[in-house]
Amino acid sequence: MKMIEYIESFANHLKEALEIAKNSKLQKSNKRFNSVLIVGLGGSGIGGTIVKDIIATRCDVPVLSTKNYEIPGFVNKDTLVIVSSYSGNTEETISALKKCIIKNCEIAIVTSGGELKSIAKNQNYNHINIPSGNPPRAMFGYSFTILFCLLKHYKIINFDWEKDFYDSISLLEKEKNNIKKEASRLASKIHGKTPVIYVASGFEGAAIRFRQQLNENSKMLAWHHTIPEMNHNELLGWRINTKDLAVIFLRNNCDLEKNQTRIDISTKVIFKYSSNINEVWSKGSSVIQNTLYHINFGDWVSWFLSVLNNVDAVEIDVINFLKHELSKNNE
């Protein structure tokens, strides 16, 4: 499939993932957890980053996402560990999982196959399988949804996340043509520039996803930062070497009022050095809806830029080369 087909199917992916979640047969657990660790990298790991943003103020235990061979020192037998790897063979993820097994953590797995699926079956871990044979980043809708299913199953969250997802699906279907139109316009405006993505804290995961999609689909560099943190450092960097930059503010009506004001003032400062400043306002009445709107919008921007850059949005030759070279060290 072409990347455009995956992006077109995003709302359907969310629907299908909800059905997978509904039909999953998970072992019950009455354990009380003192922490949650979500393990995953790349297209499989970004879901954990975004989920952490969304539930941080809505659950009573700390939630951390990690993208490394190692695990944090706090991890223990009372930690719920959710491991996400689309291929099931991500070496960093498997390394972290093995360390969690030694710590006797409660473990649940999201994958489409590979070594992770084998471990889940052999160890009798709760696991949910998602459709295989696709680019991991294009399967975000599945892995992201399943994380909420597992967090609800283990009683980490207690709000009606499913309603939020169904409402998000309706929103994305309703706004589909408008999203594509506005994404195409933004892609044309920032083409040939290096995108700088700013977002209020609480939505950093959406900005990271946007950046990663520009990297992988559009084959271009980008960076991101958050408000208010960038007001204490990066704002001063807008003095020199700014002519090839294009700014994108991802905005939400639910952003903290003080952060809304900071974004408005930051825009005035940056405008002195760059006129290529763009705002993308999410739609929807919840953080989940706002987040999924931004994600779908950013995916479309990355697709239109891949066309303008004349590159194959699916191709990942450099990453495959890296993995091949790393495998030589494991022989």
What are the residue boundaries of the structural domains of the chain, listed by start? 3-159, 163-308
Identify the CATH class of 163-308: alpha beta
pLDDT digits (tens, 9 = 90+) for 222-272: 999 999 999 999 999 999 999 999 999 999 999 999 999 999 999 999 999
Give the per-residue pLDDT at 330: 73
Report the 3 state secondary structure along 232-256: HCHHHHCCCCCCCEEEEEEECCCCC
**Domains 3-159 and 163-308 are alike in CATH topology:** yes
pLDDT digits (tens, 9 = 90+) for 274-285: 999 999 999 999
**Looking at domain 3-159, what is its CATH homologous superfamily?**
Glucose-6-phosphate isomerase like protein; domain 1 (3.40.50.10490)
List the chain residues with pLDDT less than 50: none
Q: How far is CA 276 from CA 101, 189, 243, in A?
A: 49, 8, 9
Long-range contacts of 254-263 (CB under 8 A, 24+ apart): 254/286, 254/287, 254/290, 255/200, 255/202, 255/203, 256/200, 256/201, 256/202, 258/228, 259/200, 259/201, 259/227, 259/228, 260/200, 262/227, 262/228, 262/231, 263/198, 263/200, 263/227
Contact, 293 vs 282, CB < 8 A? Answer: yes
Q: How far is CA 158 from CA 106, 154, 217, in A?
A: 19, 10, 35
Burial of residue 305, with CB atoms counted within 10 A of its CB: 0-12 exposed, 13-18 middle, 19 or more buried? buried
Give the per-residue pLDDT at 179: 98
pLDDT digits (tens, 9 = 90+) for 145-178: 999 999 999 999 999 999 999 999 999 999 999 9
Contact, 116 vs 92, CB < 8 A? Answer: no
Report the 3 state secondary structure along 24-72: CCCCCCCCCCCEEEEECCHHHHHHHHHHHHHHCCCCCCCEEEECCCCCC
Six-digit token string for 11: 């709302």
- Give backbone dihedrals phi and psi of 178, rounded to 5 degrees, phi first: -65, -40
Give the per-residue pLDDT at 25: 92
Give the per-residue pLDDT at 331: 60
Six-digit token string for 189: 């405006």
**Amino acid at residue number 100:** C
pTM of the predicted model as reported, rounded to 2 decimal places: 0.96
